Amino acid sequence: MEKKPTDLLAGYVHKLRFEDLPGEVVESAKLFLMDYLASAMAGYKINKIFNEAVYSVVSGMGGKKESRVFFQGGKLPAPHAALLNAVYGHGADMDDGNRTAQGHPGVGVIPAVLALAEAHRLSGRDVIVAIVAGYDLFVRLATAINPSHLSRGFHTTGTVGNIAAAGAAAKALKLPLAKVRNALSLAALQAAGLLEVAESGQMAKPFHPGKAAFNAILAARLAQAGAEGPREPLEGRKGFFKAFADEVNLEILRKDLGKQFRISSCYIKLYPACRHTHGAIDAALELRRRAGGAPKRVEKVKVHVYPAAINLTGSIREPKNEDEAKFSLVYTVATALTKGHFNLKDLDVTESFDREIREMAAKIEIVSDPRLENRAADIRGARVELVMKDKTTQQVEVKLPKGDPEVPATQEDMEGKLRFCAEDVFPQARQQAILKTVGELEHLKGLSRLTKLLVLE
């Protein structure tokens, strides 16, 4: 008899050991940890209004000083530190994601694990195992309930993020099986996250992973203390699946569980914008490279993308602030074509949205092409077409944006990302020390060496 989903996932989390992980999975965990830290550096300096609001409220709540708040320093209770560090991780929209899960696994999972690692003096190996478990739960659960979950208006980073991060937290706390199960159950009761935040109020989007990390530690510690949740939180008659999705593919939860680790299927973002813009940015940059600079004598720019990309990024043509800039397909493509990059400084539209970009943006036409998204064929891309004044055309099509497993980011890409994310946060020597420490993660007896490096002097 097949196990019910809750029992299946709880059993997997409880059983997983470091020795079960292939070397490449260990390396993936370290890579995504480093990527999260770089993204948090960017988010710390970008989303300042929301960051400061959350910090002012959360830091005043009091409680036991357990875990460091990155950058500002000082210690807070582990759930509060995790909330803040997750908010920073998502603030620049540079954190990792997964295209079938349609959300961001690491930014809820990793801050929860790091906060508990410092509070409970966990080893680097403990951290790696908990991260891998959390990613697996996130990708499997989110993929199983999509696309209907997304169509209803839910954001898996918040909804599924609660449950996945709770699994990671339960693993970090080394809970027995029954308590792992209750941690997942208590987290499912807290699941929330509306994609309306992509339409307006984008600065609050990091609240989703922030609460996921907070709720995860709360759920795991409640379970540790003896609290019990519903017996069938996922599959029950009024459970998570019924509440949040029209269709659920349970085979996705079971297939190769414990053999194929879904962390390896996640992508890294090289631009501080919604992932749905990245294929078009890649194509625009390639067109510019071929032209030897900003293309001249352009009459029209046709940006062909799949419908979901248009729904989330196609409506904002003239962003008024950094939050809108991250969700503007027109602005990101126009910037890439004219400037040859899209980086953190481009989010400051008061400085960056100049006459040259505005003129290019006015020429952009967004075209819906459902063929550019085909999960079975591993396609989630874009095509950018330049129509010149002499009516000739030039075009570049990208099947998948750079950073996906099939088009992996290089070591040079990652070091470049760290440099521009860490600019004005940490000097180069500190950046190198962080890189070195993460690279040695499986050999660390504790995490204080790493977390101390993440505090401003």
* Predicted local distance difference test score (pLDDT) of residue 407: 93
List the chain domain ranges.
5-270+420-453, 275-398
pLDDT in tens for each of the 457 residues of the chain? 789 999 999 999 999 999 999 999 999 999 999 999 999 999 999 899 999 999 999 999 999 999 999 999 999 999 999 999 999 999 999 999 999 999 999 999 999 999 999 999 999 999 999 999 999 999 999 999 999 999 999 999 999 999 999 999 999 999 999 999 999 999 999 999 999 998 889 899 999 999 999 999 999 999 999 999 999 999 999 999 999 999 999 999 999 999 999 999 999 999 999 999 999 999 999 999 999 998 999 999 999 999 999 999 999 999 999 889 999 999 999 999 999 999 999 999 988 889 999 999 999 999 999 999 886 667 889 999 999 999 999 999 999 999 999 999 888 888 889 999 999 999 999 999 999 999 999 999 999 999 999 999 7
Q: Which CATH superfamily is domain 5-270+420-453 in?
A: 2-methylcitrate dehydratase PrpD (1.10.4100.10)
Question: Three-class SS string for the chain?
Answer: CCCCHHHHHHHHHHHCCHHHCCHHHHHHHHHHHHHHHHHHHHHHHHCHHHHHHHHHHHCCCCCCCCEECCECCCEECHHHHHHHHHHHHHCCCCCCEECCCCECCHHHHHHHHHHHHHHHCCCHHHHHHHHHHHHHHHHHHHHHHCCHHHHCCECCCCHHHHHHHHHHHHHHCCCCHHHHHHHHHHHHCCCCCEHHHHCCCHHHCCHHHHHHHHHHHHHHHHHHCCCCCCCCCCCCCCCHHHHHCCCCCCHHHHCCCCCCCHHHHCECCCCCCCHHHHHHHHHHHHHHHHHCCCCCCEEEEEEEECHHHHHHHCCCCCCCCHHHHCCCHHHHHHHHHHHCCCCHHHHCHHHHCCHHHHHHHHCEEEEECHHHEEHHHCEECEEEEEEECCCCEEEEEECCCECECCCCCCHHHHHHHHHHHHCCCCCHHHHHHHHHHHHCHHHCCCCHHHHHHCECC
* Predicted local distance difference test score (pLDDT) of residue 57: 98
Whether domain 275-398 has CATH 3.40.50.20: the reply is: no
* Predicted local distance difference test score (pLDDT) of residue 377: 63
